[in-house]
Structure 1
Amino acid sequence: MQETVVDTLAPLGIALGAALLALLVVQLVHVVLLRAGRQSRFLTDLANRAHRPVQWVIVLCAVYFSVRAAADGASWRHTFLHADQLIIIAAAAWLLAALLVVGEEAALSRFRTDVPDNRTARRVHTQVVMVRRVTVAVMAVLAAAVMLMTFPEARLVGTSVLASAGFAGIIAGLAAQSVLRNLFAGLQLAFSDAVRLGDVVIVENEWGRVQEITLSYVVVHVWDDRRLILPTSRFTERPFENWTRSESALLGAVLFDVDWWLPVPEMREELRRALESTDLWDGRVSVLQVIEATGSAMRLRALVSALDAPRLWDLRCFVREHMVTWLRDSHPAALPRLRGEMSSATPLHATLTGQTHTTDGDARVFSHSVDGRARAEAFTGRES
């Protein structure tokens, strides 16, 4: 009995020593990378993100090989090594995912999105994020498959599963039709350049910015801080407006309804002065045109330009407020008004008193003839 305990504890002691030695080596490498990473952001990210998964992989591998060599013939050896092998596979998948994130951040650091012309950077960010998510999902599935294949029973089941893969694929396709549609739609959005992270879009009658694109849904940050969550297939099957697909700079229109008395050239000059007084304008477009002149008013359209959608919105509000104030102070007669005409068939006294519905007899009695005016004066008591 004593030999059995010794035979059991000795391999475990060797495994524990190997684990501590592996931890010491990993810690030393971590410290070296942190010191070297003072001048390299890549090494710093690598040391921080890969530290934990590397610890698990190295320690588990050291334990696996030490137990395999020292516990030859032990009854618990096979079960212990199998469990250790499963954990090593999971830790290796974790390490690959961490290295993928480090590589992603290193690639994205070369493309800045905080500059005015960031179309290419936003496209790269969208594609890299989508590729990373797909790759992580594939690695998780492969890791689970490898873990299952370590069981002899799973290998036998795999033969029958492959034999019925056609039928199972049909059933899965029908059951997960919407999921697969959104999955392929997400990949299509990432590589078709139809929409990118940070794009300004109008979807479902809402103005917002694309905040997140996943394999199943898209998050749109609406202007009032709401989040509009839509399936990715919505952007491939139905139309939407993308204000920043080709470039961030945009044109905006401000409409004014004014009276015909307004001198349009003066308003055009005032618009130019207003735009030159604000840094919201990018200096490209300053246009004022009469786009409609019917009825009792003219409709003017002011076209202005800005570097991006938020600045354009603020610029349009600024132009609208400035020009309304200028119209009110400088040309009050040009403000919108309603016109009407008085018919000559309406008697003057009916117009003054508001009684416009008169009979023919009243019109003859109080007519504009000499006798009619005399009768009117006598009727009202007016002295001649």
Structure 2
Amino acid sequence: MESFYDNVSKESLIYLGVALAVLIFLYWSTSVILKRLGKNPKYLLPSGSFRKLATPLVLLFLSILIRLRSLREVLHLEEAGFWFRKASTLLFIFAMTWVMIALLKIVKQIVIRNYDVGVEDNLKARKVYTQFTILERIFIFIIILLAVGFSLMSFPEIRQLGLSIFASAGVAGIIIGFSAQKFIGTILAGIQIAIAQPIKLDDVVIVEGEWGRIEEITLTYVVVAIWDKRRLIVPTPYFIDKPFQNWTKTSADILGTVFLYVDYNVPFDKLREELTRVLNETDLWDGKVNVLQVTDSKPNHVEIRALMSAKDSPTAWDLRVHVREKLIVYLQENYPESIARTRIRIDQDSTHENKK
């Protein structure tokens, strides 16, 4: 023990003890604050918030600890001071990156938990969820990119190499810029979707003739879940450069149409009464729109359009097929002569003359 105290000064031991005490106190106080905030309804944090931050905080405090000169004196590693500082720098960058990403995810959970995507009128919830999902991925990408850059620049050799490369970029930089033009355009399209929101998560769209819902939005591509359980992968610039249909851009409710082609002697008023009865007897109708109009007339039939409303597009589809079936059955059972048919008129006099 005497040889140990001879090699290590009392000031170093005191300094190291104080540093350990401060780090332990900071970690303990952080855990207490986060746990109490998690129990307070006013500042309710998502469950597992401290668990997400515990490991990166330990690494952060450890990176500060191993940088202390007194620790190296206690461990008799003064000669390895350069490697201790380098290791502590890299560990600090890694821990800070981890803490920032964890905080970003906690903030996202705090914000989106106030919006339920599962409700019927979920337009605002889908808007907020889409923005935070895309922006979260953008920030994570930027944070990791900066962390890698800071880590590499902490080495003097790599820093000099980087400065030399930047100084002599010239034509190479222009070539790389043109090569990365499409990739950068894709990233910018993802950011534009997050801000302008031509599409949102769970939007009903028609893309390339396919009907489906927006299932996932990333910086580079969008996943559309088609009605028959297929997945259509579309690059994000598609929704900026090309026209497409968005059935739920401003609201989830939607109008549905049913077209019937019937004979000229169909009773329109009776058909309107039947449409009203069918709509009143189903829960698929939201009670807002109920219209039957004659929209066109052809030599052999009349076009009738039944217009109805539903709370969302899947319900509107079910309502349309239900109303179409019931109206056809009604015509079959009550007015079979009103079903569209082809008429042929035979002139008897002209037929008799032709026989002669």
- Scaled by the length of structure 1, what TM-score is found? 0.80
How many residues end up aligned between the 2 structures?
344
The aligned counterpart of 1:54 is 57
Structure 1 residue 138 and structure 2 residue 139: aligned? Answer: no
Q: Greater Rg, structure 1 or structure 2?
A: 1
Q: After TM superposition, where is structure 1 displaced by more than 6 Å over at least 4 residues in a row?
A: 18-25
The aligned counterpart of 1:206 is 210
Do 1:33 and 1:44's aligned partners in 2 also have CA atoms closer than 8 Å? Answer: no
The aligned counterpart of 2:38 is 37
Structure 1 residue 242 and structure 2 residue 230: aligned? Answer: no
User: CA offsets, 1:145-200, max 9 Å, x none?
Assistant: 11112111122123223323454442222111221111111111111121111211
Shift of the 279–166 alpha-carbon distance from structure 1 to 2, 3 Å rule, reads farther
Do 1:38 and 1:44's aligned partners in 2 also have CA atoms closer than 8 Å? Answer: no
| Alpha-carbon distance between aligned partners in 2 of 1:270 and 1:69, rounded to the nearest angstrom | 93
Matched to 2:53, the amino acid is A
Structure 1 residue 305 and structure 2 residue 306: aligned? Answer: no
Structure 1 unmatched ranges of 5 or more: 349-359, 365-384
Structure 1 residue 94 and structure 2 residue 95: aligned? Answer: no
| Alpha-carbon distance between aligned partners in 2 of 1:94 and 1:228, rounded to the nearest angstrom | 33
Do 2:46 and 2:106's aligned partners in 1 also have CA atoms closer than 8 Å? Answer: no
Do 2:46 and 2:109's aligned partners in 1 also have CA atoms closer than 8 Å? Answer: no
The aligned counterpart of 2:272 is 268
- Scaled by the length of structure 2, what TM-score is found? 0.86
Matched to 1:209, the amino acid is R
Per-residue deviation, 1:268: 0.5
Moved more, 20-29 or 97-106: 20-29
Shift of the 36–110 alpha-carbon distance from structure 1 to 2, 3 Å rule, reads closer
Q: 2:113 aligns with which of 97, 100, 109?
A: 109
Do 1:127 and 1:191's aligned partners in 2 also have CA atoms closer than 8 Å? Answer: yes
Per-residue deviation, 1:304: 0.6
The aligned counterpart of 1:353 is none
The aligned counterpart of 1:285 is 289
| Percent identity for Structure 1 against Structure 2 | 37
Shift of the 62–74 alpha-carbon distance from structure 1 to 2, 3 Å rule, reads closer
| Alpha-carbon distance between aligned partners in 1 of 2:28 and 2:304, rounded to the nearest angstrom | 71
1:1-384 → structure 2 map (5 Å cutoff): 26=27, 30=31, 33-34=34-35, 37-40=38-41, 41-42=44-45, 44-65=47-68, 67-68=71-72, 70-71=74-75, 74-165=78-169, 167-344=171-348, 345-346=350-351, 363-364=355-356
Matched to 1:247, the amino acid is S
Matched to 2:273, the amino acid is E
| Alpha-carbon distance between aligned partners in 2 of 1:7 and 1:243, rounded to the nearest angstrom | 77
Q: How large is the RMSD of aligned CA atoms in angstroms? A: 3.1
User: CA offsets, 1:65-104, max 9 Å, x none?
Assistant: 3634535763333223312321221121011001001011
Shift of the 43–229 alpha-carbon distance from structure 1 to 2, 3 Å rule, reads closer
Per-residue deviation, 1:59: 3.0
Do 1:206 and 1:222's aligned partners in 2 also have CA atoms closer than 8 Å? Answer: yes
Structure 2 unmatched ranges of 5 or more: none
